[in-house]
């Protein structure tokens, strides 16, 4: 026998109360013989024996009443049938339903999702009044959100019937952790977990972490697993798309890499992938894939407008359509406000003229100002800046400008000393120059990183990349020391032009001034286009290299002067509105359950666009075998009994045979009440006998 409320058993101590009362009432009386009453002695002895017998009976009855009441409240349960009923014990049932898009597969019995819902409804119909149930969806990634047990089975039925496929991928492990917590807290005798899924190998575990569920998944809990997978699925998906271009300009091409995976066991021949830019097909290519092969496909399209660009790649439909399209976004500035700061304005002449010459489409809006005015300049008006020369001024506003995600190109000036050059390097926390190269034989370019995006558009003939080296008469001995990239190097690994990442921004550092006394570089034909491409590159909005999947929280940085009212435009043009706290520095958006581009706006201006895609793990349709599932339950140290129920089995019959246990509390309460009635009559009769014996 098992007690569901064992703490109540301490109440059994109360059964000693009638015994103690009985013992206290036993008092020895003095015997006084009256000769006139001797003839009644024998009659009195018989009556007293009868009274004592009834008193012992009352003691027994009162003790049993307390015992049965305490046992009743302790909820005793038998692990066998009792009075022909094997399911009178209350049941806590937890349903884990896999609603991820892999369940869209259709076999001879219909889609996996519909089969799952039909089975769940049949199981729900087996529950009775007093039972309780909870529904956990695999797509519910938030482990902090606790499902609620309910006795409203009609509502639960509606939720199951209306359950749609979700774009969000989740692991069975996360759902199991939630279910284990619910069952561990339940006081019902029967604790059952129904696990309905296609049991994808890639989505059983949550990464490499294995929880210890030995305390929560105790003996007595029964887990029923319903494997719904098993079909050999034909599925090809786009695993990833990457924007290769890092310089974006209107009416210029953008290059995209699409990584396509064949998740099936059959080859794919002459299928087609298309590139779309803002909903219009920009290009397409055919491809073939062997079984289980992944291939990179290069695509290219022309950007026809400025602003945020909705980029997507799509392939033909197959058995799973959710992974046939993938999204990315880029930003193409309409105009690039550029600030040129110079210690000596004469040092900026070649830079200014060179940019004007290359700025044929007037994309750059150039302001030239002396460095001493930096404190009074509103840097928020500019996307990037060029600093020429430095003699110890306070440039902290410029440092914050870069850290916020903007770009800076630094040239030393004609009078910049080694100490000042080292000082500005220290301000940006980059390696400082060790010395100055001056006099002697002019230095020339020894190596150029042609793979860098800066050089991607400078050469019409991609096979013949060559830059005529200028002569460098004086330069600072600057090396990246592994902290940045050397784009153009001189001999002895001295960097002529290097790139560093400063928080969210970028900085180019030149080792020589753009003046003819130190180099003839401004006279070379490559000077103007290289400078122009540098500004376009430095002005491009930085990608955080984090791929956002459906269901992820999307983080959007909010500037100090931005409006506190945020508008979110979801794929499909549905809008949501939020009001932020005055002190909020970022906004976290949780409703990212769709594929596509989410736009975040403040005062009718888009402040961020985020691409949301499918989890590629959801596309891998290989199902775990029963032995592998059993092994997994062993690894998480589950003590629950695991039973597999296949598609052709009758789940109701299997569960009825396994479900056992009868709660006896009602029988103990009934016995206590019956004994109380008997005690009442015996007590009344005993009182009459006592009155007669006293007469």
pLDDT reported for residue 159: 96
Question: Which of 65-74, 272-281, 302-311, 397-406 has the least mean pLDDT?
Answer: 65-74
Q: What is the mean pLDDT of residues 406-422?
A: 95
Domain with CATH 3.40.50.410 in the chain: 91-232+621-660
pLDDT reported for residue 83: 47
Q: Look at residue 191 and tell me whether its pLDDT is greater than 90.
A: yes
Mean pLDDT of the chain: 87
Give the class (CATH, top level) of 236-330. Answer: mainly beta
Give the class (CATH, top level) of 548-613. Answer: mainly beta
pLDDT reported for residue 87: 47
* Res. 86 pLDDT band, cuts 50 70 90: very low
Owner of token pair 């002695």? 41
Say what percent of the chain tops pLDDT 90.
64
Nearest one of 384, 530, 502, 517 to 445, comparing CA atoms = 530
CB 285 within 8 A of CB 315: no
Q: Look at residue 168 and tell me whether its pLDDT is greater than 90.
A: yes
pLDDT per position as a tens digit, 620-642: 999 999 999 999 999 999 999 99
CB 22 within 8 A of CB 59: yes
Q: What is the mean pLDDT of residues 267-281?
A: 96
> Structurally, what CATH architecture does the domain formed by 91-232+621-660 represent?
3-Layer(aba) Sandwich (3.40)
Domain with CATH 2.60.40.10 in the chain: 236-330
Q: Look at residue 598 and tell me whether its pLDDT is greater than 80.
A: yes
* Res. 81 pLDDT band, cuts 50 70 90: very low
Domain with CATH 3.40.50.880 in the chain: 336-539
pLDDT reported for residue 119: 95
Q: Look at residue 436 and tell me whether its pLDDT is greater than 50.
A: yes
Q: Look at residue 507 and tell me whether its pLDDT is greater than 80.
A: yes
pLDDT reported for residue 101: 96
* Res. 434 pLDDT band, cuts 50 70 90: confident
Report CA torsion sign: 645, 646, 647, 648.
negative
Say what percent of the chain tops pLDDT 70.
87
pLDDT reported for residue 601: 93
Task: Report helix, strand or coil for 54.
Answer: helix
Residue 256 vs residue 82, higher pLDDT: 256
Q: Look at residue 259 and tell me whether its pLDDT is greater than 60.
A: yes
pLDDT reported for residue 37: 53
CA 56, CA 466: separation in Å to the nearest integer?
115
pLDDT per position as a tens digit, 12-38: 777 677 776 666 665 544 455 555 555
Give the class (CATH, top level) of 336-539. Answer: alpha beta
CA 89, CA 68: separation in Å to the nearest integer?
19
Q: What is the mean pLDDT of residues 348-369?
A: 94
Q: Which residues contact 193 (CB under 8 A, 6 or more apart)?
A: 93, 94, 96, 179, 183, 221, 222, 223, 224, 640
CB atoms within 10 A of CB 403: 13
Burial of 419 by CB count in 10 Å (0-12 exposed, 13-18 middle, 19+ buried)?
A: exposed
Q: What is the mean pLDDT of residues 104-121?
A: 95
Q: What is the mean pLDDT of residues 165-183?
A: 95
In the sheet with 76-78, reading across from the earlier edge strand, the strands are 2-3, 76-78, 662-663
């Amino acid at each position: 026998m098992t007690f569901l409320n064992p703490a109540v058993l301490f109440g059994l101590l109360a059964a000693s109360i009638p015994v103690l009362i009985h013992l206290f009432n036993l008092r020895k009386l003095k015997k006084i013989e009256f000769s006139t009453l001797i003839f009644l002695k024998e009659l009195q002895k018989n009556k007293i024996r009868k009274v004592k017998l009834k008193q012992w009976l009352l003691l027994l009855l009162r003790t049993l009443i307390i015992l049965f009441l305490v046992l009743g409240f302790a909820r005793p349960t038998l692990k066998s049938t009792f009075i022909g009923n094997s399911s009178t014990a209350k049941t806590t049932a937890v349903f884990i339903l896999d609603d991820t898009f892999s369940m869209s597969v259709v076999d001879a019995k219909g889609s996996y999702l519909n089969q799952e819902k039909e089975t769940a409804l049949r199981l729900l119909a087996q529950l009775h009044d007093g039972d309780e149930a909870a529904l956990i969806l695999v797509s519910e990634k938030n482990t902090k959100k606790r499902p609620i047990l309910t006795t409203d089975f009609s509502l639960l039925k509606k939720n199951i019937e209306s359950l749609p496929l979700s774009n969000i991928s989740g692991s069975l492990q996360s759902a199991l952790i939630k279910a284990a917590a619910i069952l561990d807290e339940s006081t019902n005798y029967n604790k059952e977990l129904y696990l309905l899924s296609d049991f994808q190998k890639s989505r059983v575990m949550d990464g490499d972490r294995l929880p210890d569920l030995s305390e929560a998944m105790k003996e007595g809990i029964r887990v029923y697993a319903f494997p719904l997978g098993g079909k050999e699925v034909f599925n090809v998906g786009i695993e990833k798309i990457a924007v290769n271009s890092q310089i974006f300009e209107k009416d210029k091409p953008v290059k995209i890499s699409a990584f396509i995976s064949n998740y099936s066991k059959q080859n794919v021949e002459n299928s087609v992938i298309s590139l779309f830019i803002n909903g219009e097909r920009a290009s397409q290519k055919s491809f073939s894939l062997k079984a289980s092969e992944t291939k990179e496909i290069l695509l290219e399209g022309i950007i026809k407008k400025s602003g945020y660009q909705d980029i997507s790649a799509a392939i033909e439909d197959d058995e799973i359509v959710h992974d046939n399209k993938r999204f990315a976004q880029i930003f193409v500035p309409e105009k690039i406000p550029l600030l040129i700061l110079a210690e000596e304005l004469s040092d900026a002449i070649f830079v200014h003229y060179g940019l004007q010459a290359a700025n044929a489409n007037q994309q750059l809006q150039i302001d030239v100002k002396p460095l001493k005015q930096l404190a009074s300049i509103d840097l928020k008006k500019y996307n990037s800046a060029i600093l020429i020369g430095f003699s110890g001024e306070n440039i902290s506003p410029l440092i914050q400008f870069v850290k916020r995600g903007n770009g800076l190109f630094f040239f030393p000036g004609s009078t910049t000393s080694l100490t000042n050059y080292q000082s500005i390097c220290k301000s940006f926390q980059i390696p400082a120059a060790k010395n100055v190269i001056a006099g002697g034989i002019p230095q020339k370019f020894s190596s150029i990183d042609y793979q860098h995006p800066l050089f991607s558009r400078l050469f019409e003939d991609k096979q013949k990349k060559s830059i005529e080296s200028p002569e460098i008469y004086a330069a600072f001995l600057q090396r990246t020391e592994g902290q940045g990239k050397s784009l153009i190097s001189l001999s002895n690994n001295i960097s002529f032009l290097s790139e560093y990442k400063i928080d969210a921004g970028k900085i180019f550092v030149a080792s020589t001034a753009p003046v003819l006394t130190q180099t003839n570089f401004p006279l070379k034909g490559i000077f103007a286009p290289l400078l122009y491409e540098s500004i376009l590159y430095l002005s491009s909005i930085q990608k955080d290299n984090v791929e956002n999947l459906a269901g992820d929280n999307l983080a959007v940085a909010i500037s100090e002067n931005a409006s506190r009212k945020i508008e979110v435009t979801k794929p499909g043009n549905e809008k949501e509105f939020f009001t932020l706290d005055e002190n909020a520095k970022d906004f976290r958006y949780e409703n990212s359950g769709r594929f596509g581009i989410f736009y975040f706006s403040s005062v009718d201006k888009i402040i961020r666009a985020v691409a949301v895609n499918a989890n590629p793990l959801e596309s891998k349709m290989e199902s775990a075998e029963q032995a592998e599932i059993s092994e997994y339950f062993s690894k998480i140290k589950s003590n629950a009994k695991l039973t597999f129920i296949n598609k052709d089995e009758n789940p109701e019959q299997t569960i009825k045979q396994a479900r056992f246990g009868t709660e006896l509390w009602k029988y103990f309460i009934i016995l206590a009440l019956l004994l109380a009635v008997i005690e009442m009559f015996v007590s009344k009769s005993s009182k009459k006998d006592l009155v007669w014996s006293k007469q």
